[in-house]
Structure 1
Amino acid sequence: MTSYKDLLKQREALEQQISEARRRELSEAVAQVRALVAEYGLTAQDVFPAGRGRGPTKGTRSSTAGTKVAPKYRNPATGETWTGRGKAPKWIQNENREKFAI
């Protein structure tokens, strides 16, 4: 039966082999990509078009999530604004929103 220390040494050696294999294969992959880019004259925009990056995936939040929206309503007494999205603030609840429109 193998001892704990022996297993740890084996794991360390295996992790080093994994790291070296990844580094080697990664450099090969980058070389292939660079060759294809050069062969076809591709640009970064061709390969990574705007709006198609590491954003939300299909079925999750839209690509506009988290963007600022201009306010549509203003409380004349305090100057507080509201975009019209989400839960309405108390100062506009049960009121005619037209009189608060900006």
Structure 2
Amino acid sequence: MTTLQDLRAKQEELRKQQEEIARSIDDMKSAQRSGVIAEIKDLMAQHGLTVADLTPGTRSARVPAEGKTKEVSKVAIKYRDAETGSTWTGRGLKPRWLVAALEAGRSLEEFLVEAQPAE
């Protein structure tokens, strides 16, 4: 018959094994991670990519081909809050200030900006 002391000793032995296994797993993950990072860096260098190319919503820092320029077009403001000066072009999701105003019972037409005459 096993005693309580024997069971506690076995428990301690298993706990040490568990910690050792966890350390081994962490070491293996770290080694794999280093290899993957090196591989990613190599692929980025081969294809001329930067970190900015991987981040959504940012523009690439690359220079356009010689003789070609990127023309930036601005979108006219379609909605404006006269109280705060906040604006929205009408593209994409409605901004929070507009959603809050609409939920408060105001109408979208209240925020419409009068069209500017073409020059």
Shorter chain as denominator, the TM-score bin is 0.5 to 0.7
| Runs of at least 4 residues off by over 4 Å | none
**Aligned pairs for 1:15-94 within 5 A:** 15-50=22-57, 64=93, 68-70=96-98, 83-85=101-103, 88=104
Q: Report the Cα distance in structure 2 between the residues aligned to 1:69 and 1:12, rounded to whole angstroms.
A: 52
TM-score, L = length of structure 2:
0.46
Q: Which runs of 5+ in 1 are unaligned?
A: 52-62, 72-81
- Counting matched residue pairs gives 69
TM-score, L = length of structure 1:
0.52
Q: Which has the larger radius of gyration?
A: 2
Q: Which runs of 5+ in 2 are unaligned?
A: 1-6, 59-91, 112-119
Q: Report the Cα distance in structure 2 between the residues aligned to 1:70 and 1:16, rounded to whole angstroms.
A: 52
Structure 2 residue 13 is the aligned partner of structure 1 residue 6 = yes
How large is the RMSD of aligned CA atoms in angstroms?
Answer: 3.2
Note the C-alpha offset of 1:14: 0.3
Please list the CA deviations of residues 39-81 of structure 1 after superposition, one character each: whole Å capped at 9, or x if unmatched.
Answer: 1110223223328xxxxxxxxxxx959x53248xxxxxxxxxx
Greater relative contact order (Cα < 8 A, sep 6+): 1
